[in-house]
Structure formats: structure tokens, C-alpha cells
Amino acid sequence: MRIRTYLIKIQFFKKYLTNCNFFTIAIPFLILFFHSASYAELHKVRHAIDGDTLLLMNGEKVRLIGVNTPEITRPQKPVQYFGKEAHLFTSQMVDGKEVRCEFEKQRRDKYGRLLAYVYLLDGTFLNAEIIKQGYGFAYTRFPFKYSEEFRKYERTARENKKGLWGAMGSPHKSGMEADIFRLDILRILIYPYSTFLRII
């Protein structure tokens, strides 16, 4: 299995080289290919289901590890605040593109979806980018290897009023709930204590 993982990494690197110039290769290569022994696979994305869930061409659904975005697909419930924007951001990033999915030991959640860290061919770490740009929250209910980094990305996005953090202080947009994501907002208010108190 480990050999298969590294063969996949080599294949991904070849594709990556065709999309980058020399000066953008070294650092992403070192980070993406030598930082861990996680299992990895190449897949093509059909489309984003919402901000944190993807549908692959093979029919598999992928839930991004460590990030939570406002919902747009809950049955009989309205779209959550900034959900459409988060969905659009992820769609523009990955729809129709080939990506590298990296897994931890637990490959699936209770709904049968693959749990993955997703990387674009240019080295962009999708899970992290969603949080950095303010389209989602660091989802820390379960431990994962980038939890501390993701919390820092969220804090920086909040301080810089990125995405939903800036929009929260603006008039509510038409068609969006005024009081959604209450649990996440409560978690924001008690952020300094989130090490021992998890709201989500």
C-alpha cells in the first residue's frame, strides 16, 4: 500500500510540473510529497455539492477534513448564511478538475463519504484555503493533524474580516437566514476556551 501511495505521488508530481514554472515547484513539492505517509489517490471532481463536500466522477462523495461551511443542502431547511458563497468558491476551485486526495486512517464518515485532504495540481490545499479566505470554519470536533494550523487560519480570517467574517457585520442578504449558524457563532465567542469546550 505504501508503494502504491508513492507511485501516485510521482504521477501527481508529473502532472503538477506541466502546470507550474520552475520557481513555483520546490516548496510545494517538499510539503506535499514528503511530509507524511498518508494514503493518497488521484481523482477527478464532477462538482462541489456544497462548500465542504465534493462529488467525484466515480460517484464517490468526499467530505473535506477539518473544515465546516454553511449548509445549502439540508432537506426542508433554508440555505444558511454565506452558504451560496462558500459553495461557489469551492466550485470555482475544483469543478471538473483533477485533484489529489490524501487520507488519514479513518477513510469514511458515518454517512459513507470519503474523508480527505484535497490538493489541486498547482499545490493549493483546498481544505486550508476555504478557511483562509473566510468561507468556512475550522471543524475541530474530531482530532486531525492540521487542527492547530486550521485554528490559526480561522483566527487570521476573522481578524482580517475575510468572507463570512466581514459579511457578518453587513446587512443580511436577501434569501439568507439572519440567525443561522448559531452554534458556530457561539463557538467564535468562546474561542479562547475551545481547547476544552467543543461546540461543533
- Residues with catalytic function: 63, 71, 113
Rounded-to-integer distance, Cα 117 and Cα 122, Å: 15
Grid coordinates representing 106?
479513518
123 Rama sector, left if φ>0, alpha if ψ -120 to 50, beta otherwise: left
Helix ranges (DSSP H) in the chain: 2-17, 26-34, 83-94, 126-132, 147-159, 164-167, 182-189
**Phi, psi angle pair for 150, to nearest 5°:** -65, -35
Please tell me what DSSP assigns to residue 108: B
Grid coordinates representing 196?
476544552
Rounded-to-integer distance, Cα 124 and Cα 139, Å: 19
Rounded-to-integer distance, Cα 167 and Cα 38, Å: 36
